[in-house]
Structure 1
Amino acid sequence: MSHTSVASPPPLRPAHETKHIPILDYPFRALRFHLAQLDNGASNGTALWLGAQCLSLYLADNLKHRSPSSPGSTALAPDGKRPRVIELGSGIGLSALALASMGWDVIATDLPDVVSTVLSGNISRNLPQLPPHSGTVQVRVFDWTVPPDQWRWDHSCTIASSQPEKQHPAIQHGSILGPPFDLIITSDTIYSTALVTPLMRTLHALCKASLALSPEVRCPPVYLCLERRDPALVDYALSHAKDSWDFKVERIPQKKLAKAIEKTGALWDKNEWEDVEIWKLTLRS
């Protein structure tokens, strides 16, 4: 008697091994995302990076109580609203889709070229395939170099742009999301000294906006994931967050990240990801 063998799904591979693949068949928990990426050198944000992988795995392991499918889920707040997260530098959309699948409403943001070439399409392609009771993802253009007093939360396409006259594609479901936020995340965004101050100013302003609208709730934590390619730049960014922007800065223990990676069954050597760090920033005031 012959038996039909069922091919096992491909294993999770680190991002540096898959940048040549135009459409990633990406496993996340019981799901598979199909994520387009570009490796043409035009933008850092149009391909998958290791930081986004590691941050999504860590959050999946440590925020799983938010999933509507979990026993005793707390995905919905007492007022019936889902927890809300904004991501800076969403890239190809992995972390945004991961959190949406866990019951979060997500604002996924990036610069116009990233939004139009990969992010918007990946969200629109994968969002309908998420399980029932998942959260939603709204895609918006967000340029950190634009001062906070010029941001707008009532626009369906753009929070802040240096090219306001340019129309950007939007993915919207339901009313337009905005602050307050329960969580702020960003990964692979510490790569230029010139962008450190705009990034920290943006994180600070997002925390302040959340507190202003919901003062009875604690300040939303910021999870910042990076690869320590340039130690001097990383140290400068973390010191700047602490000394200039009043953030309490704590590193997530590496053993917690290792545990999250191991749970996926990924057989990654430690040297594949040992330069990845996740930092939790909490506004002191």
Structure 2
Amino acid sequence: MDKPLPASQTKHLTNLSHPLPPPYSNISVNLRQISSSSGETGTTGTTGTTGTTLWLSAQILSLYLSSLLGTSTTTNKKNDCDGVRINRHDDDDDDDDKKKQKVVLELGSGIGYTPLVLANLGWKVISTDIEPVLSTVLKPNIEYNKNTIIGNGKGEIEVKELDWIYIDELQHENQVNDLKDTGVPDEMKYLKEDGIDMIIMSDTFYSLSLIQPLWNTLLYISHFKNDDKPPVIYISLERRDSLLIDHALETGKKMGFDLKKVNKSRLNKEIQSSGWGWEGEDWDGVEIWKCRWKGKQRDEPIDG
């Protein structure tokens, strides 16, 4: 297989060929990037906008989730992902609800690497971002690669626009935590109807002004799983600014989210067994946090 470089070394590339994590390392995806150093302008006239190149944290999260989700034979086995493993080769005629296709929502999908990885494992993936990322890199990359990824499997990918600030404003307008159906716009009904089993995101803590809207979005979505506990959330981040990261994590804890850091030794084990040939300095600063909302529903308006 081609060994992928850490994302920090590929920001200048307009076209990036990247293998999937094991056990599908023989499959590569071709990803369009728009870097501020490339001088290329996207269809919206924006050059090098946040989210238009691959993130190191997305590479590590994809590798980690592939290890968790790629070897199970059932979906109801207790494991690190709280029973949401799937087998991409389950029988089509199996009506057992415990073996139904699972749904993952990604917030801030960027160039779309992680959604392609999970679709290849058999998940239904809802990949979200905002303009100009949506039309310049995310949609083109998903459309170009999805037939290769899901042609022989059962995975699906849908690309949708989802703005955390819009959801934040919606919550304030309706003063909601209970999320009645009347408070869910038609264009976001899928968040309730699809039954989100897992939420993932990479490198989403980068702006102080977006921390509260992002957590409010996670709170909003966490209330939709009425038949089960709220979805498990995996947050992958690169600790560039420790003060900002610590503030972001503390904000989530104060809102009732339980956060647990994945051991670095576990991540290192996945890196070493991946065949990617990376050393510790190649991914230094990347962390993965497992999260779930466990707080009580509040009556007062959401702060922010």
- TM class by shorter-chain length? 0.7 to 0.9
Q: Distance in 2 between matches of 1:20 and 1:114?
A: 17
Whether 1:58 aligns to 2:64 is yes
Q: Distance in 1 between matches of 2:230 and 2:240?
A: 30
The amino acid that maps onto 1:36 is R
Shift of 1:26: 0.7
Shift of 1:94: 0.5
Q: Secondary structure of 1:129's match? A: helix
Q: Secondary structure of 2:12's match? A: coil
Whether 1:275 aligns to 2:277 is no
Q: Secondary structure of 1:44's match? A: coil
Whether 1:258 aligns to 2:272 is no
Q: Secondary structure of 1:112's match? A: coil
Shift of 1:266: 1.3
Q: Distance in 1 between matches of 2:274 and 2:95?
A: 26
Q: Which runs of 5+ in 1 are unaligned?
A: 1-8, 161-174
Q: Distance in 2 between matches of 1:44 and 1:102?
A: 27
Q: Counterparts of 1:97-116 in structure 2 under 5 Å?
A: 97-116=116-135
1:209-255: CA deviation from partner (whole Å, max 9, x where unpaired) = 12x3x2xx222111001011100111101110001x20011001111
Shift of 1:22: 1.3
Q: Are the structure 2 counterparts of residues 97 and 153 from structure 1 closer, same or farther at C-alpha, using a change threshold of 3 Å?
A: farther
Q: Distance in 1 between matches of 2:136 and 2:95?
A: 33
1:73-123: CA deviation from partner (whole Å, max 9, x where unpaired) = xx9962763100100000000010100000100100001200100000100
Q: Which of these residues, 211, 214, 223, is aligned with residue 199 of structure 1?
A: 214
1:252-283: CA deviation from partner (whole Å, max 9, x where unpaired) = 11111112222221111201112000001111
1:135-162: CA deviation from partner (whole Å, max 9, x where unpaired) = 111000111001364785743xxx49xx
Whether 1:87 aligns to 2:106 is yes
Q: Distance in 1 between matches of 2:238 and 2:9?
A: 16
Are the aligned partners of 1:107 and 1:177 in contact in 2 as well (CA < 8 Å)?
Answer: no
Q: Which runs of 5+ in 2 are unaligned?
A: 37-46, 73-84, 172-182, 296-304
Shift of 1:134: 2.9
Q: Which residue of 2 aligns with 1:34?
A: 30
Q: Which of these residues, 16, 20, 25, is aligned with residue 8 of structure 2?
A: 16
Q: Secondary structure of 1:186's match? A: strand
Q: Are the structure 2 counterparts of residues 102 and 43 from structure 1 closer, same or farther at C-alpha, using a change threshold of 3 Å?
A: same
Q: Which residue of 2 aligns with 1:138?
A: 158
Q: Are the structure 2 counterparts of residues 153 and 119 from structure 1 closer, same or farther at C-alpha, using a change threshold of 3 Å?
A: farther
Q: Secondary structure of 1:51's match? A: helix
CA RMSD of aligned residues (A): 2.5
Are the aligned partners of 2:57 and 2:236 in contact in 1 as well (CA < 8 Å)?
Answer: yes
The amino acid that maps onto 2:139 is S
The amino acid that maps onto 1:139 is V
Are the aligned partners of 2:90 and 2:99 in contact in 1 as well (CA < 8 Å)?
Answer: no
Q: Are the structure 2 counterparts of residues 186 and 198 from structure 1 closer, same or farther at C-alpha, using a change threshold of 3 Å?
A: same
Q: Secondary structure of 1:180's match? A: coil
Q: Distance in 2 between matches of 1:263 and 1:235?
A: 30
Shift of 1:199: 0.5
Q: Are the structure 2 counterparts of residues 219 and 104 from structure 1 closer, same or farther at C-alpha, using a change threshold of 3 Å?
A: same
Q: Distance in 2 between matches of 1:98 and 1:178?
A: 23
The amino acid that maps onto 2:109 is S
Q: Which of these residues, 216, 234, 237, is aligned with residue 226 of structure 1?
A: 237
Are the aligned partners of 2:32 and 2:141 in contact in 1 as well (CA < 8 Å)?
Answer: yes
1:153-177: CA deviation from partner (whole Å, max 9, x where unpaired) = 743xxx49xxxxxxxxxxxxxx999
Q: Which residue of 2 aligns with 1:129?
A: 148
Q: Secondary structure of 1:209's match? A: coil
Q: Structure 1 vs Structure 2: percent identity of aligned residues?
A: 36
Are the aligned partners of 1:138 and 1:177 in contact in 2 as well (CA < 8 Å)?
Answer: no
Q: Secondary structure of 1:107's match? A: strand
Q: Distance in 1 between matches of 2:154 and 2:7?
A: 26
Q: Are the structure 2 counterparts of residues 101 and 76 from structure 1 closer, same or farther at C-alpha, using a change threshold of 3 Å?
A: farther
The amino acid that maps onto 1:105 is K
Q: Secondary structure of 1:242's match? A: helix
Q: Distance in 2 between matches of 1:198 and 1:206?
A: 12
